[in-house]
Amino acid sequence: MPRGFRSFHPFVLMLYYIAVIAGLMINQHPFFLLAAFICLVFVNLILDKGVELNKWKYMILFLSLFVLVLTPIFNQQGNIVLWTVFSREIYLEAIIQGFMIACTLSGILALFTTFSIVITSDKFLYMFSKVFPKWALILMLALRFVPLFRKRLSDIQDVQEMKGVSMKDGKLREKAQNGMLFIQILLTYSLEEAIQTADSMSARGYGLQKRSNYESYAWKLRDSYVLIYIIAFSLLIIIGWQLHESVLMLAPTLESIALEGNSWFYLIGWISLISLPIWTEGKEVMKWSFYQRDL
Amino acid sequence: MELLSARSLNFTYPKSSDQALTNIDFNVNEGDFMVLCGPSGSGKSTLVRLFKQELELHGERIGEIKYKGARLEDNDPFLLAKEIGMVFQDPENQIVMNTVMEELLFGMENLGFSSNEMRKKVAEIVHYFGFHHLLHQRTSELSGGEKQQVNLASILLLDPKILILDEPTAQLDPIAAKDFIHLLKQLNDEFGITIVIVEHRLNELFSIANRIVMLDKGQIKFDAKPRDAIKLFYSKMDAYLPEASQLYLAFMEAKEASNVPFTVKESKHWLSGMDITLRSTVDEEEASYINKTLLELKEIDFRYAKHTKPVLSNLSLAVHEGEWLAILGGNGTGKSTLLKIIAGLKTSQHGKIKYKGKKIKKMDQKRIGYLPQNPKLYFLHETLQEEYHALGEKHGKSDDEVFELVKEFQMESLLHRHPYDLSGGELQRAALVGILIGNPELLLLDEPTKGLDPAFKDEFAKVIQSVRKSGVTIVMVTHDIEFAAKHVTRCSMMFQGDVIVTEKTTTFLKENNYYTTMISRITKDSHVPTVVTVEEAKTHWLMKKELLSSV
């Protein structure tokens, strides 16, 4: 993907995620959070047509309902009593609080569904290897061993099942015993084979000197622009938070929910930050549709 | 120019009384394509590993190894790692990284290449090897041939002067092996990269190599040009020669080394000057053959998951009682899956299975013996003795009965060894004994000849024939056409998840153009009777007289 949101440098993308998560946590205002969640749904739609989000929709729905119902029951702080149910007071503050927590959680989940689409494993490893180069190499080796072990274990199971040793039938004790035997074989066998892997590594000069690292992600000018964009809006959000413009005060007395004056300005800043993928990705979609129309 | 050399080199492994290598004098010149051959355990691998200093072989080394005139130890380790490249036997175990791209970069990163250098070199090599479609694939998803090519490419990226390959094609199917060897020839021809290759399968290598070195019991038996090597191989070690040469040597009285053909083309030329007719012989196999069906598969469909491509589709196959059936076919045609269905490890989604005329849902696994491609996976215990004892208990056999079987297969001396300390051939025999303790009626073999040297292959065939004589039916999945041609009664060809033809071995191989033995390719559509193996030629051909030799 040479263009669009995903084409930015992994560090820029990572910064976006950090900024948005931090924003979701500090902008504790129903409108700010609701706007954020709606924006993130659109981000999902534009990145993969919502396929990934769709897998999580019940999780998000269930979690939100859970929080929405339970917070007012357990949170007994506030001034405005709405109802009394079973001698428990239900406060308006608690309901608003529940709504905000639900929005925050849904927002974080909706953000994370895009995380695996945007920060693919190789990008993640790339960043990781910058900070911990040795650990990154071990992690990469381990990644390769996962499918290898899985395949070997299923081979062992097949061969042993033909011998009459299996984990499928028999008593639980026997099954467990056989399972342990299989793992033992898997490890002995894999250690034996790993000697060859080690040979192949040293034959290619592993450990002779400090390794260099293939820079698969070159820093481009547009990465700088987006970096400035993210930093600028993040600062704006922090200022808004410090000035309590983007936070709804619940105690000692409930503020008016309606946004006033400067709050609108910070809300627009917040939305601009979250919808960065929508601009960058949407631009590509627009370009494509114009291109097709021209044809 | 002399690139690598060894002077009176001796090597002994720790805790071993025998020398692995004795008095090796050996040199490799720039631009050589050298084949190192010899029986298993002759010290070939030890020798080539000594040339690669990084491998740090444990043991006592006496004598010198020189690279470009300087002792190996005195060379810059960085330079050695870069200029002496090594490819090993097992394609899977050499791969370190998760994706092809990472794997290609691995060596260069180790040696500290800069990003730009890497980018450029990868672009070049990907183009040369045609890897475009593989670059971002996971290495675990590649075929054996592709893996070995990635290994080679990863080493070539370091610009080696000399490539050492330790049986690189032993685990590959014949087509992939041929491709790989031609790739080596190309590298040798076009870039002048010196190549030292350890190999048993010399069919293709004979016409490509410029030197053949034979090792036996740790000593160099000879070091000769391929033409001269023919004489040295002849009579005692025929199995190492290309089949084309074997055929010539079996029939010609005057064995002129300069006339011995290496390739199909040369052989055809030689035969064009011969007058050969068919000797009338009774086909013994034919006479004693009874067509009684043991196992019948009908309209079998199988897929691993709902939305994946079917692996087997509408497959039908009949296995006769007492036969040795070979299932041939390329990679990914479903051979191994078919074996798993027969073994009852997988259940088909559609179709019928009949065993001894009775319809069954799933095979009874007690009746079946299964020899896996990798016999190491068969053993659960520390020694063979323990393994056999446990198996005997399971199948209600006394230790004496088990020992009878052990004696029959001459395994007494190995009983106290750990299975992993056995050689490839021994390991296979050990697993076979274990399987036979269960008295199977049907024996399934999955690629049994992979990585075996010619001598072990013949021995294995003898063992299987004796098992067959005791009434066991054998179904074998294999790529080894030469092996199948020599020993198997019928061949089935698989293509796209279906058995497209099942025929008697000779008929099958005589009709095929591509999927057949070298001898069949030589004799097909010529004026001489078509045969598929040298043995068949020996029994069926009657040579009238030699026409004017035009070779």
pLDDT band at residue B369 under the 50/70/90 scheme: very high
What pLDDT is attached to residue A17?
96
Q: Report the gap between the CA of A288 and the closest CA in chain B (Å).
A: 26
Query: Do both A12 and A112 map to the same domain?
Result: yes
Contact criterion met (CB below 8 Å) for A110 and A38: no
B275: left (phi over 0), alpha (psi -120 to 50) or beta: beta
- What would the mean pLDDT of A7-34 be, rounded to a whole number? 94
**Residue B112: inside a domain, yes or no?**
yes
Query: Do both A14 and A120 map to the same domain?
Result: yes
- Judge: B113–A144 Cβ closer than 8 Å, yes or no: no
Which comes out higher in pLDDT, residue B516 or B544? Answer: B516
Kindly state the helix (H) or strand (E) to which residue B466 belongs, with its residue range: helix B454-469
Query: Which of A143, A151, A162, A191 best tests the B interface by mutation, with the highest count of B CBs <10 A?
Result: A162
Query: Do both A152 and A188 map to the same domain?
Result: yes
How many Cβ atoms sit within 10 Å of the Cβ of residue A67?
Answer: 20
Query: Do both A27 and A117 map to the same domain?
Result: yes
Query: Do both A289 and A226 map to the same domain?
Result: yes
Query: Do both B237 and B372 map to the same domain?
Result: no
Rounded Cα gap, residues B104 and B113, in angstroms = 12
Query: Do both B50 and B138 map to the same domain?
Result: yes
Question: To which residue do tokens 């070091």 refer?
Answer: B223
Reported as a single tens digit per residue, the pLDDT across B389-423 is 999 988 888 888 899 889 888 888 889 988 888 88
Interior angle at CA B104, CA B101 and CA B110, nearest 5: 120
Instruction: Choose the weakest-confidence range: A92-106, B86-100, B267-281, B529-543.
Output: B267-281
- Judge: B98–A144 Cβ closer than 8 Å, yes or no: yes
**Which segments of chain A does DSSP mark as H helices, in order?**
10-26, 30-48, 51-74, 92-118, 121-131, 133-163, 172-203, 221-242, 262-274, 276-294
Query: Is the bond preceding residue A133 a cis peptide, omega within 30 degrees?
Result: no
Query: Do both B326 and B222 map to the same domain?
Result: no
Query: Which of A126, A200, A216 best tests the B interface by mutation, with the highest count of B CBs <10 A?
Result: A200
- Judge: A148–B92 Cβ closer than 8 Å, yes or no: yes
Domain of residue A252: give its range: 5-125+221-294
Q: Is B550's pLDDT higher than 50? A: no
Query: Do both A159 and A256 map to the same domain?
Result: no
Domain of residue B331: give its range: 294-511
What pLDDT is attached to residue B84?
94
Which comes out higher in pLDDT, residue B430 or B450? Answer: B430
Q: Give the distance from CA B334 to its chain's centroid.
A: 20
**Residue B162: inside a domain, yes or no?**
yes
DSSP A93-125: HHHHHHHHHHHHHHHHHHHHHHHHHHS-HHHHH
pLDDT band at residue B431 under the 50/70/90 scheme: very high
The last residue of one of the domains, among B476, B492, B511, is B511
Query: Do both B152 and B226 map to the same domain?
Result: yes
B314: left (phi over 0), alpha (psi -120 to 50) or beta: left
**Residue B101: inside a domain, yes or no?**
yes
Angle, helix A10-26 to helix A221-242, in steps of 10 degrees: 10
What pLDDT is attached to residue B546?
55
Measure CA of the first residue to CA of the last residue in chain B; give whole Å: 35
Between A and B, how many residue pairs show a Cβ–Cβ distance under 8 A? 143
CA distances from A291 to A180, A262, A278, A282, A286 (A): 61, 40, 19, 14, 8
Reported as a single tens digit per residue, the pLDDT across A190-221 is 988 888 888 898 899 888 888 888 877 888 99
Report the amino acid identity of residue B57.
Answer: L
Reported as a single tens digit per residue, the pLDDT across B470-482 is 889 999 999 888 8
Of B97, B108, B345, the CB nearest to A158: B345
Q: Give the DSSP letter of residue B418.
A: -
Query: ipTM of this model?
Result: 0.84
pLDDT band at residue B273 under the 50/70/90 scheme: confident
**Residue B551: inside a domain, yes or no?**
no
Contact criterion met (CB below 8 Å) for B341 and B310: no
Q: Is B551's pLDDT higher than 50? A: no
Query: Do both B372 and B224 map to the same domain?
Result: no
Query: Do both B390 and B500 map to the same domain?
Result: yes
Nearest CA to B433 out of B420, B416, B415, B447 is that of B415
- Judge: A211–B110 Cβ closer than 8 Å, yes or no: yes
- Judge: B378–A159 Cβ closer than 8 Å, yes or no: yes
**Residue B105: inside a domain, yes or no?**
yes
- Judge: A181–B380 Cβ closer than 8 Å, yes or no: yes
Reported as a single tens digit per residue, the pLDDT across B200-230 is 878 889 889 999 999 988 899 999 998 888 8
Query: Which of A181, A204, A208 best tests the B interface by mutation, with the highest count of B CBs <10 A?
Result: A204
Query: Do both A119 and A63 map to the same domain?
Result: yes
Rounded Cα gap, residues B62 and A185, in angstroms = 38
**Residue A138: inside a domain, yes or no?**
yes
Residue B29: φ, ψ to 5°? -95, 160
Residue B232: both structure tokens together: 């040295």
Reported as a single tens digit per residue, the pLDDT across A132-153 is 877 877 887 787 788 889 889 9
Query: B315: which strand partners?
Result: B300
Rounded Cα gap, residues B461 and B477, in angstroms = 14
Of B78, B151, B365, the CB nearest to A208: B78
CA distances from B429 to B340, B406, B485 (A): 21, 10, 22
- What would the mean pLDDT of B315-341 be, rounded to a whole number? 89
DSSP SS3 for B451: coil
Give the number of domains in chain B: 2
**Residue B496: inside a domain, yes or no?**
yes
**Residue B15: inside a domain, yes or no?**
yes
What is the side-by-side strand order in the sheet with B498-504? B368-371, B442-446, B473-477, B324-328, B490-495, B498-504
Query: Do both B149 and B210 map to the same domain?
Result: yes
DSSP SS3 for B127: helix
Contact criterion met (CB below 8 Å) for A9 and A219: yes
**Residue A249: inside a domain, yes or no?**
yes
Which comes out higher in pLDDT, residue B208 or B306? Answer: B208
- Judge: A205–B78 Cβ closer than 8 Å, yes or no: yes
DSSP SS3 for B310: coil
Query: Do both B360 and B478 map to the same domain?
Result: yes
Query: Do both B450 and B313 map to the same domain?
Result: yes
The last residue of one of the domains, among B511, B528, B546, is B511
The last residue of one of the domains, among A181, A197, A213, is A197
Query: Do both B81 and B208 map to the same domain?
Result: yes
Give the number of domains in chain A: 2
Query: Do both A47 and A69 map to the same domain?
Result: yes
Query: Do both A119 and A138 map to the same domain?
Result: no
Torsion over CA: B258, B264, B267, B269 (sign)? negative
Q: Is A99's pLDDT higher than 90? A: yes
Query: Do both A119 and A251 map to the same domain?
Result: yes
Of A143, A185, A211, the CB nearest to B377: A185
Nearest CA to A122 out of B125, B152, B100, B147 is that of B100
| Average per-residue pLDDT for chain B | 87
Rounded Cα gap, residues B550 and B548, in angstroms = 6
**Residue A209: inside a domain, yes or no?**
no
CATH code for the domain in which residue B136 is found: 3.40.50.300
Interior angle at CA B368, CA B367 and CA B372, nearest 5: 160
Q: Is B263's pLDDT higher than 50? A: yes
Query: Do both B330 and B221 map to the same domain?
Result: no
What pLDDT is attached to residue B173?
81
Number of alpha helices (DSSP H) and beta strands (DSSP E) in chain B: 21, 22
- Judge: B96–A160 Cβ closer than 8 Å, yes or no: no
Strands (E), B16-139: 21-29, 33-37, 60-67, 70-71, 84-87
Nearest CA to B380 out of A170, A177, A173 is that of A177
Query: Do both A33 and A86 map to the same domain?
Result: yes
By the CB < 8 Å criterion, does A183 face chain B?
no
Residue B443: φ, ψ to 5°? -115, 125
Query: Do both B47 and B134 map to the same domain?
Result: yes
- What would the mean pLDDT of A224-241 be, rounded to a whole number? 95
Residue numbers in B near A214 (CB within 8 A): 105, 108-109, 115, 118-119
How many Cβ atoms sit within 10 Å of the Cβ of residue A237?
Answer: 22
Residue A17: φ, ψ to 5°? -65, -40
Contact criterion met (CB below 8 Å) for B312 and B350: no
Residue B192: φ, ψ to 5°? 65, 20
Q: Is B284's pLDDT higher than 60? A: no
By the CB < 8 Å criterion, does A201 face chain B?
yes
- Judge: A212–B109 Cβ closer than 8 Å, yes or no: yes
Q: Give the DSSP letter of residue A241.
A: H
**Residue A203: inside a domain, yes or no?**
no
Residue numbers in A near B392 (CB within 8 A): none
- Judge: A202–B372 Cβ closer than 8 Å, yes or no: no
- Judge: B98–A197 Cβ closer than 8 Å, yes or no: no
- What would the mean pLDDT of B50-77 be, rounded to a whole number? 89
Residue numbers in B near A206 (CB within 8 A): 106, 110
**Residue B289: inside a domain, yes or no?**
no
Q: Is A24's pLDDT higher than 70? A: yes
